[in-house]
Amino acid sequence: MNKIGTKPQVAGDETLLRPAFGWAFLPIALLFFTFFALAVSSPVFGAGKPDPKVIGARVAGDETRTRFVLDMNTQVTPAISGLAKPYRLIIDLPEVEFSLPEDAGSSGRGMVTNWRFGLFAKGKSRIVLDLSGPVRVDKTFFLPAVDDQPARLVLDLVRSAPEEFASFVEESRGIAKREAQKTKTKTDKLPPSGSGDKPLIVLDPGHGGIDNGATGVGGTLEKAIVLDFANLLREKLEEAGHYDVRLTREDDTFVSLSRRVEIGHELEADLFISIHADSVRRGRKLARGATVYTLSDKASDQLSEELAEVENMSDVIAGVELDEEPTEVTDILLDLAKRETRSFSSYFAKTLVTELKSAVRLIKNPHRSAGFRVLKAHDVPSVLVELGYLSNEHDEKLLITEEWRERMASAMSEAIHGFFRPRLARQQTTPSQ
């Protein structure tokens, strides 16, 4: 129950405004009204509804019945949906603050193998439970706060059959999709595209929100350092004054891979640079140094193949339904466009490697390729840069130093100047109309 439910009625009590008091009394009445309204909404009075916060979470139970509990400071309404391949349960909440220990979710219990949480989009937070198999949500309920017990959101899961889970997925995703459609126009507005004459560069800091990306040995989060780096690179490029620069995300929000590609395409970007600092499982000691990746159907080597696989999992981690890969249309014009884009991407990758060589440590064979979904725009030259690998402790230490970041960003902006130099030179010699 909301304890403040009665207070606004006191403030708005008709008796205060009854004409019998005379019009002269009105300003005082309004003053009172304002005071009460402020009092009710002010946290100082402890009466306003606080910003929702998750203050604890736990999983209990076994392989037949598992309970997931969130301790909260206030009541929120969850929307629950499912996804298969792999089995996941998605709990969508209005934007909440997660005040949880760093390792929360890293291990589960019963049918929940592990879980993660974070900002999914503006105004929307998400929790994804990874499941050991198909489940049915037996009960969902909210327990209000009592005495020293916080409010609790409780989900009871029981084992179910794959077919039952499949129909739950279909039903729940249908609702989720309609909701997403409703909000799409509100949240997916693009920043205005550039002035037209300047080359437009889209920087794409990887991961974000619920998708942390890699975590370094020393605890560095990939999603945080790549965003910082993208901001630094944007600053450098904007200083030069020759480019319009856009980021696919400006904060710690999740952006799906297809949305990232769409942003580059819709803005008609001249260059798309995805920025990462991933972890590799195989050869983690050897894999270190900056690497530039371009798109290819067949990976150039095993490490690149593994990396693209991990990268392409981003949407799965965030509980986003994978878009159907568009069926290849045999269109000779599209084919030509693709081929041209790929050769521009390759040319930029080479320019970038040359520039990076003299500035930072590179991996052996620094221009590699694999099937990264984020590089699939057919009309935007795209590369993915691994600043280094967070699975390597030396790389992790480097990546967080100011000096290294400066050198890396300067070298990258030099390469970008090199790539656009012919176009900029042409613009300078052509008198403007």
Number of C-beta neighbours around residue 198 at 10 A: 17
Structure token digits, residue 294: 């371009």
Q: Which residue has the tokens 């437009």?
A: 200
Number of C-beta neighbours around residue 129 at 10 A: 27
Amino acid at 153: L
Compute the least distance from the CB of residue 315 to Zn ion, in Å.
13
Distance of alpha carbon 81 from alpha carbon 292, whole angstroms: 37
- Mark residues 224-263: x for contact with Zn ion by CB under 5 A, - for none: ----------------------------------------
Q: Which of these ranges, 8-16, 185-193, 194-202, 269-277, lies near Zn ion under the rule CB under 5 A?
A: 269-277
With binding defined as CB under 5 A, does residue 105 bind Zn ion? no
Compute the least distance from the CB of residue 206 to Zn ion, in Å.
4
Compute the least distance from the CB of residue 224 to Zn ion, in Å.
12
SS3 281: coil
Tell me whether residue 215 or residue 410 sits nearer to Zn ion (CB atom).
215
With binding defined as CB under 5 A, does residue 206 bind Zn ion? yes
Q: Which of these ranges, 21-29, 90-98, 210-218, 390-398, lies near Zn ion under the rule CB under 5 A?
A: 210-218
With binding defined as CB under 5 A, does residue 208 bind Zn ion? no
Tell me whether residue 63 or residue 301 sits nearer to Zn ion (CB atom).
301
With binding defined as CB under 5 A, does residue 213 bind Zn ion? yes
Compute the least distance from the CB of residue 293 to Zn ion, in Å.
11
- Mark residues 154-193: x for contact with Zn ion by CB under 5 A, - for none: ----------------------------------------
Angle at 248 between CA 245 and CA 249, to 5 degrees: 110
**Which candidate, 417, 273, 277, places its Cα nearest to that of 355?**
417
**Which candidate, 23, 170, 21, places its Cα nearest to that of 84?**
170
Compute the least distance from the CB of residue 279 to Zn ion, in Å.
8
Q: Which of these ranges, 189-197, 270-278, 284-292, 364-372, lies near Zn ion under the rule CB under 5 A?
A: 270-278
Residue count of the chain: 433
Angle at 172 between CA 167 and CA 176, to 5 degrees: 150
Please compute, for residue 143, the number of CA atoms within 13 A of its CA located in the half-sphere on the CB side.
13
Tell me whether residue 57 or residue 318 sits nearer to Zn ion (CB atom).
318
Run of H or E including 81:
strand 79-83
Task: Tell me the site size for Zn ion, rule CB under 5 A.
Answer: 4
Distance of alpha carbon 216 from alpha carbon 34, whole angstroms: 52
Compute the least distance from the CB of residue 80 to Zn ion, in Å.
28
Tell me whether residue 244 or residue 278 sits nearer to Zn ion (CB atom).
278
117 touches 90 (CB < 8 A): no
Q: Which of these ranges, 36-44, 150-158, 194-202, 205-213, lies near Zn ion under the rule CB under 5 A?
A: 205-213
With binding defined as CB under 5 A, does residue 71 bind Zn ion? no
Compute the least distance from the CB of residue 244 to Zn ion, in Å.
25
> Which backbone phi and psi does 367 adopt, to 5 degrees?
-105, 110
Tell me whether residue 71 or residue 222 sits nearer to Zn ion (CB atom).
222
Number of C-beta neighbours around residue 19 at 10 A: 8
Position among 223, 276, 368, 376 found at the interface with Zn ion (CB under 5 A): 276
How far, in whole angstroms, is CA 30 from its chain's centroid?
Answer: 45
With binding defined as CB under 5 A, does residue 110 bind Zn ion? no
Sequence-distant (6+) residues with CB within 8 A of 133 are 87, 111, 159
With binding defined as CB under 5 A, does residue 278 bind Zn ion? yes
Tell me whether residue 278 or residue 306 sits nearer to Zn ion (CB atom).
278
Distance of alpha carbon 379 from alpha carbon 327, whole angstroms: 17
227 touches 205 (CB < 8 A): yes
185 to each of 175, 315, 375, 377, how far by Cα in Å? 17, 20, 24, 22
Tell me whether residue 126 or residue 260 sits nearer to Zn ion (CB atom).
260
Tell me whether residue 159 or residue 223 sits nearer to Zn ion (CB atom).
223
Angle at 116 between CA 110 and CA 121, to 5 degrees: 140
With binding defined as CB under 5 A, does residue 288 bind Zn ion? no
With binding defined as CB under 5 A, does residue 388 bind Zn ion? no
With binding defined as CB under 5 A, does residue 82 bind Zn ion? no
With binding defined as CB under 5 A, does residue 376 bind Zn ion? no
Tell me whether residue 176 or residue 349 sits nearer to Zn ion (CB atom).
349
Compute the least distance from the CB of residue 113 to Zn ion, in Å.
22
**Residues lying near Zn ion in the complex (CB under 5 A):** 206, 213, 276, 278
